[in-house]
C-alpha cells in the first residue's frame, strides 16, 4: 500500500505544480497585460468630477431692461465625515434658531443638503460660525429670475430641469441630470447662446465617498446675453390693455421684421415654472381651459373673418376681376342656388367699388368676387401672401394656417365642395383657420407693398462683458410682385376703413392710419374681434394686430384697444419713430 500512496503523492505534487502555474499565469495576465486598463478603473474609483451649474446669460428688452437673469441662491451643504449628522444638525439649529427638516437629501460623494434655499442672513450667520461647523459650507448656485413676469412669459419663456428625452438627445453636448435648460420661448430658442459654460470640481474620494482632497477646480462662467426687439413698456401696456379678456397683440416694424410687442393673454408666471411647482399647481396650469401656456400669437388657430377680405381683394384685383371702376350692387344679401347669404348690413351697401367694399367690409362684394375667383385661386392667393407658410419667427412651436381645398374636403369629409363653401371662404369663415402672426404678416406685406421681412425677436447678441458681438439684420424673405394699382387700392381701402368705414372708432387719431376690421364667427361663442393695420399709411413704421377672443364686432373691442395702443405709441414713442 505504501507504494501506491507514494505514487498518489507524486501525482498530487504534479497537480500542485499545475495549479501554481495556472494561478501565476492568471496573475501575470491581470497585472501585466491588463494593468493599464485596471489602473484607469482605479483612477475612476477615486476621482469624482462634480459639475458646477453654468451661469445663464441675461435677456434684455430693446431698451436694455432686464427680462430674465440669473440670481444667486444659497444652500447649506455638509460633507459627511468628521461629525455625526445629528450633531451638526443640532449646531446649525442653534446657530440659526430654527428647526431643520431631516431626512436630508444625499448628493453623490457623501454630501447632504441641510437647507435649500438658505437666506442671505442665514448664510452670513453660518459663515461667522464656521469654526463650529467642520465640513459645513454654504454653496451658491444660480436660479432664474424673471423680474417682469407674466406679460413676457410666452416670448422670454422659462427654464426647467432637463427631462429624460432632452437629456438623451443633448447628452453629447455635455448636459447632465439636474441641469437647467430653456423650455419654451427665447430661453429655448437661444439655449446654446444663453447656456454658458459649466465649471467643475475634481475630487479624490474614498470608498465611502468621503472627500480626501480637491484635485482641480474651474469656476463656471457665462458666455452670452441677448437683447430682444421687444419694447418692454409697450409689451406691458399691451398686456394691460387686453385686461381680463383673452387675446393677442402684435406690434412690429414692417421694414425690419422686428417685433416690438408680442402679447398672448392669459399669460403665466415664468418664475413659478422655473423654480419648480407642485404637481397640483402644474395640473391647474396645464389643464386650465384658457390654455395660458399656449402662445396664442403663433400657436393658436382662429377664423380670420373679414381680415381675409384683403386676400380676396388682392386676388380679384390681380386676376383682373375688378378694378377701380367696377361696382357691385349690394342689396343686403346674395341669393345663390336657392340659398340666401346675408351681408352684415341688413339694408345693403348699394353699388360699391372695391375700395368702398374694403372700407365697409361689404360681404356681398366679396361673395361675388370669391365665387368668380373660385376656391383654388383663393387658396393660391392666400399662399402667395404667406398664409399657410411658417413665418420663420425665432420662437419655437409656430403653427400655420389650415387652408381648406375641394380635394381636402372630398378626402377628409367625403363631401363635395359646394359653392356655399367658397362663399364662406370669401369672408374668412368656414373651415379656414389662421394664426394671428400670419394675418400680421399679410398686413405687414401690404404696408411695405410686397416686401416680406422675417419676423424676429432677437436684436443683438452680447458677450460676457456686455459688448455687442452680433446685430441681427433684417431678412427679406420674399418680394410679392403685384400691380402698383393693387397696392394702391388695398391701402386706400384700408385708409377708408378708418375714415368712413368699419374702423371709425380710430378716426381722429393724430396719425394716418390704414387698417381692417374682422369679425369672426366661431363655434365657441361670441365672435372674435380682429383689428389690424399700420401707420403712417404713406410711409409705414408700425404694423399692429389686435385679436380679442369673443370680443364681438371687430369695429368694437379690437378697434378700441388698437386706438389706445396707437395713442400710447404717439404719446410715448411718437418722437422716436419719426423718419
Partner 1 sequence: MEDKALILILVALSLIGVLAVYSVDPLRGEEWGASLFSKQIIWNFVGWLVFLFFSQIDYHQWVKRGWLWYLLMVLSLGAVLVFGKGDETGSRRWLFSQSVQPSEGAKIALALFLAHYFSEQRENFDFWPLLLKSGILSFIPLVLIFEEPDLGSSLVLLVIWLGGLFVCGFSAKKWAVIGGIGVGLLPLSWFFLEDYQKARLLSFIDPGKDPLGSGYHILQSKIAIGAGGFTGQGWLSGTQSQLYFLPARHTDFIFASWCEQLGFLGGMVIIFLLGALSYLFLVIALRSPDLEGKILASLLGISLLFQWAVNIGMNLGVMPVTGIALPFISYGGSSLVANLASAGLVYNISKSGGKESWKLWI
* Residue 200 C-beta: closest distance to partner 1, Å: 20
Site for partner 1 in 235-254 (CB under 8 A): none
* Residue 206 C-beta: closest distance to partner 1, Å: 4
* Residue 473 C-beta: closest distance to partner 1, Å: 55
Residue that has been written with the C-alpha cell 357691385 in this structure: 328
Closer CB to partner 1, 213 or 346, in the complex: 213
- CA 261 – CA 152 distance, rounded (Å): 9
Site for partner 1 in 42-61 (CB under 8 A): 42, 45-46
Grid coordinates standing for 178? 439636474
Site for partner 1 in 209-238 (CB under 8 A): 212
Closer CB to partner 1, 206 or 240, in the complex: 206
Nearest to 555, CA basis, from 517, 524, 514:
517
* Residue 203 C-beta: closest distance to partner 1, Å: 12
Of the candidate spans 18-26, 310-318, 421-429, 527-535, the one that interacts with partner 1 by CB under 8 A turns out to be: 18-26
Contacts of 507 (CB under 8 A, 6+ apart): 498, 499
Where helices occur in 337-482 by DSSP H, the ranges are 354-360, 363-373, 375-384, 406-408, 419-426, 436-447
* Residue 31 C-beta: closest distance to partner 1, Å: 4
Grid coordinates standing for 137? 459650507
- CA 437 – CA 249 distance, rounded (Å): 10
Q: Is the separation of the CB atoms in 359 and 497 below 8 Å?
A: yes
- H/E element, 120: helix 120-128
**71 interacts with partner 1 by CB under 8 A:** no
Q: How far is CA 487 from CA 12, 311, 352, 446, 493, in A?
A: 108, 12, 19, 7, 10
* Residue 22 C-beta: closest distance to partner 1, Å: 8
Of the candidate spans 31-39, 268-276, 349-357, 390-398, the one that interacts with partner 1 by CB under 8 A turns out to be: 31-39
Q: List b or e across 393-413, with b for residues whose CB sees 16 or more CB atoms inside 10 angstroms.
A: bbbbebbbbebbbbeebeeee
Closer CB to partner 1, 4 or 337, in the complex: 4
Site for partner 1 in 342-401 (CB under 8 A): none
Closer CB to partner 1, 28 or 221, in the complex: 28
Q: How many other CB atoms sit within 10 Å of the CB of residue 214?
A: 11
- CA 384 – CA 486 distance, rounded (Å): 14
Helix, strand, coil share (%) of the chain residues, nearest 5: 40, 25, 35
- H/E element, 160: strand 159-161
- CA 352 – CA 322 distance, rounded (Å): 12
Of the candidate spans 22-30, 137-145, 305-313, 374-382, the one that interacts with partner 1 by CB under 8 A turns out to be: 22-30
Looking at 306, 353, 382, 555, which residue is catalytic? Answer: 306
* Residue 3 C-beta: closest distance to partner 1, Å: 9
Of the candidate spans 20-28, 155-163, 333-341, 445-453, the one that interacts with partner 1 by CB under 8 A turns out to be: 20-28
* Residue 29 C-beta: closest distance to partner 1, Å: 9
Of the candidate spans 40-48, 121-129, 313-321, 533-541, the one that interacts with partner 1 by CB under 8 A turns out to be: 40-48
Contacts of 119 (CB under 8 A, 6+ apart): 74
- CA 458 – CA 230 distance, rounded (Å): 8
**416 interacts with partner 1 by CB under 8 A:** no
* Residue 4 C-beta: closest distance to partner 1, Å: 4
Site for partner 1 in 148-207 (CB under 8 A): 204-207
217 alpha carbon, distance to own chain's centre = 36
Closer CB to partner 1, 129 or 205, in the complex: 205
Of the candidate spans 8-16, 407-415, 476-484, 557-565, the one that interacts with partner 1 by CB under 8 A turns out to be: 8-16
Closer CB to partner 1, 48 or 573, in the complex: 48
Q: Of 27, 217, 221, 329, which one interacts with partner 1 (CB under 8 A)?
A: 27
Helix (H, G, I), strand (E, B) or coil at 544: strand
3-state helix/strand/coil string of 288-317? CCCCCCCCHHHHCCECCHHHHHHHHHHHHH
Grid coordinates standing for 546? 389686435
575 alpha carbon, distance to own chain's centre = 31
* Residue 108 C-beta: closest distance to partner 1, Å: 14
Does the annotation count 361 as an active-site position? no
Number of residues that bind partner 1 (CB under 8 A): 39
Of the candidate spans 14-22, 80-88, 311-319, 416-424, the one that interacts with partner 1 by CB under 8 A turns out to be: 14-22
- CA 547 – CA 516 distance, rounded (Å): 12
Give the active site residues: 306
User: What does the binding site for partner 1 look like in residue numbers (CB under 8 A)?
Assistant: 1-2, 4-13, 16-17, 19-20, 23-24, 26-28, 30-32, 34-35, 37-39, 41-42, 45-46, 204-208, 212
Amino acid at each position: 500500500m505504501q507504494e501506491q500512496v507514494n505514487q498518489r503523492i507524486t501525482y498530487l505534487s504534479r497537480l500542485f505544480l499545475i495549479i501554481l502555474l495556472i494561478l501565476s499565469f492568471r496573475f501575470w495576465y491581470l497585472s501585466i497585460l491588463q494593468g493599464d486598463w485596471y489602473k484607469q478603473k482605479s483612477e475612476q474609483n477615486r476621482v469624482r468630477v462634480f459639475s458646477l451649474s453654468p451661469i445663464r446669460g441675461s435677456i434684455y428688452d430693446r431698451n436694455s431692461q432686464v427680462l430674465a437673469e440669473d440670481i444667486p441662491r444659497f444652500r447649506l451643504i455638509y460633507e459627511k465625515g468628521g461629525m455625526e449628522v445629528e450633531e451638526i444638525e443640532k449646531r446649525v439649529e442653534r446657530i440659526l434658531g430654527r428647526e431643520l427638516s431631516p431626512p436630508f437629501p444625499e448628493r453623490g460623494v457623501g454630501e447632504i443638503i441641510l437647507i435649500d434655499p438658505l437666506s442671505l442672513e442665514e448664510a452670513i450667520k453660518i459663515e461667522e460660525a464656521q469654526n463650529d461647523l467642520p465640513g459645513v459650507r454654504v454653496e451658491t448656485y444660480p436660479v432664474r429670475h424673471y423680474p417682469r413676469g407674466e406679460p413676457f412669459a410666452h416670448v422670454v419663456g422659462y427654464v426647467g430641469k432637463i427631462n429624460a428625452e432632452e437629456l438623451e438627445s443633448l447628452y453629447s453636448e455635455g448636459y447632465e441630470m439636474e441641469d437647467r435648460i430653456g423650455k419654451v420661448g427665447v430661453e429655448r430658442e437661444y439655449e446654446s447662446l444663453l447656456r454658458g459654460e459649466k465649471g467643475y470640481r475634481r475630487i479624490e474620494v474614498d470608498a465611502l465617498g468621503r472627500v480626501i482632497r480637491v484635485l482641480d477646480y474651474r469656476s463656471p462662467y457665462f458666455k452670452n446675453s441677448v437683447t430682444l426687439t421687444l419694447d418692454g413698456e409697450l409689451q406691458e401696456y399691451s398686456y394691460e390693455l387686453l385686461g381680463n379678456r383673452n387675446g393677442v397683440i402684435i406690434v412690429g416694424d414692417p421694414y425690419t421684421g422686428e417685433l416690438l410687442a408680442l402679447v398672448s393673454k392669459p399669460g403665466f408666471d415664468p418664475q413659478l415654472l422655473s423654480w419648480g411647482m407642485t404637481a397640483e399647481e402644474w395640473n391647474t396650469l396645464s389643464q386650465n381651459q384658457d390654455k395660458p401656456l399656449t402662445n396664442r400669437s403663433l400657436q393658436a388657430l382662429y377664423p380670420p373673418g373679414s381680415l381675409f377680405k384683403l386676400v380676396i381683394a388682392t386676388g380679384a384685383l390681380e386676376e383682373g376681376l375688378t378694378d377701380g371702376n367696377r361696382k357691385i350692387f349690394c342689396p343686403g344679401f346674395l341669393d345663390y342656388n336657392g340659398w340666401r347669404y346675408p351681408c352684415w348690413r341688413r339694408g345693403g351697401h348699394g353699388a360699391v367699388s372695391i375700395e368702398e367694399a374694403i372700407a365697409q367690409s361689404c360681404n356681398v362684394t366679396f361673395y361675388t368676387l370669391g365665387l368668380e375667383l373660385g376656391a383654388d385661386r383663393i387658396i393660391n392667393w392666400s399662399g402667395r401672401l404667406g398664409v399657410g407658410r411658417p413665418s420663420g419667427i425665432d420662437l419655437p412651436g409656430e403653427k400655420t394656417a389650415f387652408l381648406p381645398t375641394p380635394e381636402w374636403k372630398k378626402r377628409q369629409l367625403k363631401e363635395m365642395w359646394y359653392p356655399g363653401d367658397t362663399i364662406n371662404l370669401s369672408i374668412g369663415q368656414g373651415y379656414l383657420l389662421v394664426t394671428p402672426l400670419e394675418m400680421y404678416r399679410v398686413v405687414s406685406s401690404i404696408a411695405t407693398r410686397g416686401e416680406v421681412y422675417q419676423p424676429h425677436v432677437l436684436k443683438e447678441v452680447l458677450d460676457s462683458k456686455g459688448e455687442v458681438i452680433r446685430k441681427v439684420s433684417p431678412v427679406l424673405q420674399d418680394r410679392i410682385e403685384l400691380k402698383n394699382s393693387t397696392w394702391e387700392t388695398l391701402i386706400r381701402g384700408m385708409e377708408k376703413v378708418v375714415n368712413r368705414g368699419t374702423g371709425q372708432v380710430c378716426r381722429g387719431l393724430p396719425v394716418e392710419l390704414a387698417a381692417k376690421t374682422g369679425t369672426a364667427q366661431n363655434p365657441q361663442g361670441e365672435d372674435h374681434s380682429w383689428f389690424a393695420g399700420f401707420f403712417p399709411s404713406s410711409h409705414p413704421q408700425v404694423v399692429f394686430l389686435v385679436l380679442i377672443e369673443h370680443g364681438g364686432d371687430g369695429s368694437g373691442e379690437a378697434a378700441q384697444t388698437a386706438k389706445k395702443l396707437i395713442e400710447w405709441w404717439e404719446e410715448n414713442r411718437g418722437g422716436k419713430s419719426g423718419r
